[in-house]
Structures are given as structure tokens and as C-alpha cells.
Amino acid sequence: MGVKRHYYQHNTLHLCLLDTPVILRKKTRQIAVGSVPIGNRTPIAVQSMTNTDTRDVSATVRQIKSLEDVGCEIIRVAVLDLEAAAAIEAIRDQITIPLIADIHFDHRLAVAAMEHGAQGIRINPGNIGSLNKLTKVVHAAQAHDVSIRVGVNSGSVEKEILKKYGHPTPDALVESALKNIRLLEDLGFHEIKISIKSSDVLTTIDAYRKLSQATDYPLHLGVTEAGGLIGGTVKSSVALGILFNDGIGDTFRISLTRDPVEEIRVCYELLRALRIRERGPEMISCPTCGRCQINLFGLAEKVEKHLQQMETPLKVAVMGCIVNGPGEAKEADIGLAGGNGVGIIFKHGKLFKKVPEDEIFDVFIAELDKMEQQNVKK
């Protein structure tokens, strides 16, 4: 008998039976970023950040909409000046997910961003300026019902703390975070989540473990400056996968030197691998061998891209061998294989349809879309 688990897909609760142990998450305080709850064992929220110029409203909105389409639940934008802060209002009018303003140093930008509709801000209270400036930020956050992420990373640790530890160790990151939290608490503000990021995997893991023991504020996980698609995916998946498996983490971003849509794709694959959340189909595909007589790499890439737009939790197989493929992927809900000019579509290991090889992609996608529509009608 499987263990009853909750998984979430596009903010809708589903139940499934999985033969895996439950990962018991630490119970943290609950805050909110707009309509998205963070902490208190609510669904782990998936975030990304735009790489457009925030002042370019149309470009920023286009990118956010592409992120919404693949399941991004919170978006962060860089606020470099007052023009960027003012642009938040126009951006928010055209998107559906909560928006966080990323602020460095200038308290005026934080205040202006909230006045123009930011539902969350990311700051390092220690470098925002004097206590008087921080007080203005807190008052604005209280007035506009905005939560604050205390963001500490290895490059922002205070000089006196660095001197104490020699370099940005896990203990240094934790001490810096707790110091900055106290600044907000002393001003009566508690709508806080925390991140302490390093580009080093082991430092990140150790730091978050220590921070989780030291506070019950919700934690935003991430590996900063993780790298490109392959390196960044590996580093982030190792660090965050270990932490999630420890029950640590309430929201996260996987930072890649890549189109941010790829960040969301990796986020959901990580959550799926740990059986924490499911969104859309899971694709399985063979690595190819000498029997493969079809352009499987190109076909798999096109199928995977289409799956990102779907919400139905299917298992989809893309196999290279028309003889062995269906049998090897018999647990898939639907799959394809091809070779020698012939393409086949199979369901649960049995032949469903045979088509000319050059038509296999279009016919397969049409069948997938039909299954998606049938699921929506249920």
C-alpha cells in the first residue's frame, strides 16, 4: 500500500498514492507574497527572476508571461533606479503572479517599488543605510502589506563578520542573516523570509541547515552564481535536493546563466524527482545506441518543449528503437518510437497508431493535446 501524499499542480490540490516515504518538512512561520503563501508547510513555491531591463515594460511582461506559462509562481525584477521602480505598476497590471522588487543599497528604491505595487522586496538590511532609512522601508512595507526577503550571500557578509571567520563560512552567513533579521524585528516587522546563498554547494547545505535550526522564519533556497545549464543544474540540484530531503526550504529559485524559462523547467524536475510536487508530464527517453535510426535528440527536445506548456501529470516516453522501445517504456502513459521510415505511437507498451516517420511528431503532439483537453473537461 502506498503512502498518501499531497502534490500540487497550478495551485490545485491533488492526492496520489506513492510507494515512497513522506518527506516531513520543518514547520515554519507563514507569510505571503501577494496571493502565494510561503512557509507553514504550504506548497514549496517556484520562483525566477527576469533578465530584461525592468524599465522596458513590454519586454519584461513578455518574459514574465512566458514564465507564467511554464509554472513560475513568483517573479523578481531588478530595480536599478526610480524609473524601474515606477515601471512595476505597469508590469503588475499585465501579469498574474506576485512580483518582488530586488533592491540593493538605496532605500528610496525599495519605498518607491512598494508604492508602485511590488508585493515583496528583497534587501540586505545591513547595507540599506542608516536605521532611519531602514525604518522608512519597514513603514512602507507595513503600509502596503509587503513581505521582505533578507537576502545574504557570500559577497555581502559584513566586514566585521568576515574578519571574525576569515571568509564567508556557513557560520558567517548565518550570523549575518540573524543580525539583519534582528534589525527588522527591532522595528516590529516579522513578515520575513531568509536566504543565505553561496556559490559553493557544501557551504550552502551547511549554512541552511544551521539557519534552519536557529530560526523558524521561512527559507528561500538557492545556490548563487551556479553557472550554465549543466553546471548550474547539477550544483543547484545537489544542494537543494539534499536540503529538501532534510525537510528544509519553503520557496526556491534555481539560478542559471540561461533563459529563465529553463530555471522553471529544472525547478519542477527537481520537485518531481523528490516526489514533492508534480506539474505537467514527466518525459522519459532512451540515451540512444547503435540500433537508433531516428533523430532522437531533436525529437526529444521538441517534445520536451511542448510538455512544458501542459498541466496533465502524464508519463511520456520518447524512444529510439521501434522494436524494443515500447517494451522498455511500458509504464509510460503514451510514447513514440521510430526508424526505417516508420513511426509508432504506443500506450502502456502497446501499439496505438502507426504513421510515416516524418509525421510522427505532429501526430504525437495532436494526441497529447487531446489527452490534455480530456483532462481539463474532467
What lies within 8 Å, CB to CB, of 232 at 6+ separation is: 223, 226, 254, 255, 256, 257, 258
Does residue 98 carry a pLDDT above 80? yes
Q: Are 252 and 46 in contact (CB under 8 A)?
A: yes
Q: Are 239 and 231 in contact (CB under 8 A)?
A: no
173 and 297 together in one domain: no
Q: Give domain status of residue 251, yes or no.
A: yes
Query: Helix 57-69 crosses helix 260-273 at what angle (to 10 degrees)?
Result: 20
Averaged pLDDT for residues 259-272: 92
Averaged pLDDT for residues 196-218: 95
Does residue 376 carry a pLDDT above 70? no
269 and 292 together in one domain: no
Of 206, 212, 221, 218, the closest CA to residue 255 belongs to 221
Is the dihedral angle over the CA atoms 361, 363, 367, 372 positive or is it negative?
A: positive
158 and 217 together in one domain: yes
> For residue 102, which phi and psi values (nearest 5 degrees)?
-95, 115
Q: Give domain status of residue 14, yes or no.
A: no
68 and 175 together in one domain: yes
Mean pLDDT score of the chain: 87
Domain edge (last residue) among 224, 242, 273:
273
Count the residues in the chain. Answer: 378
pLDDT at position 278 is 82
200 and 289 together in one domain: no
Does residue 293 carry a pLDDT above 80? no
CATH code of the domain covering residue 349:
3.30.413.10
The pLDDT-based confidence of 1 (bands split at 50, 70, 90) is: very low
The pLDDT-based confidence of 377 (bands split at 50, 70, 90) is: low
237 and 312 together in one domain: no
Beta bridge partners of 155: none
Q: Give domain status of residue 8, yes or no.
A: no
> For residue 112, which phi and psi values (nearest 5 degrees)?
-65, -40
Q: Give domain status of residue 145, yes or no.
A: yes
pLDDT per residue over 12-32, tens digit each? 333 343 444 457 889 999 999
pLDDT at position 318 is 87
Q: What is the layout of strands, in order, in the sheet containing 120-123?
A: 192-197, 147-153, 120-123, 99-102, 74-78, 45-49, 251-252, 220-221
CATH code of the domain covering residue 178:
3.20.20.20
Q: Give domain status of residue 13, yes or no.
A: no
Q: To the nearest 5 percent, what fractions of the chain are helix, strand and coil? A: 40, 20, 35
Where b means 16+ CB within 10 Å and e means fewer, 75-85 reads bbbbbbeeebb
Q: Give domain status of residue 7, yes or no.
A: no
37 and 84 together in one domain: yes
Domain edge (last residue) among 238, 273, 308:
273
Beta bridge partners of 33: 36
Domain edge (last residue) among 253, 273, 293:
273
Cell output for 349: 507498451
**38-47, 221-230, 254-263: least confident range:** 221-230
298 and 198 together in one domain: no
Does residue 321 carry a pLDDT above 90? no
Q: Give domain status of residue 191, yes or no.
A: yes
Type of residue found at 69: D
pLDDT at position 10 is 34
Q: Give domain status of residue 305, yes or no.
A: yes
Range of the domain at 138: 24-273
Q: pTM for the whole thing?
A: 0.85
Q: Domain total for the chain?
A: 2
184 and 300 together in one domain: no
136 and 196 together in one domain: yes
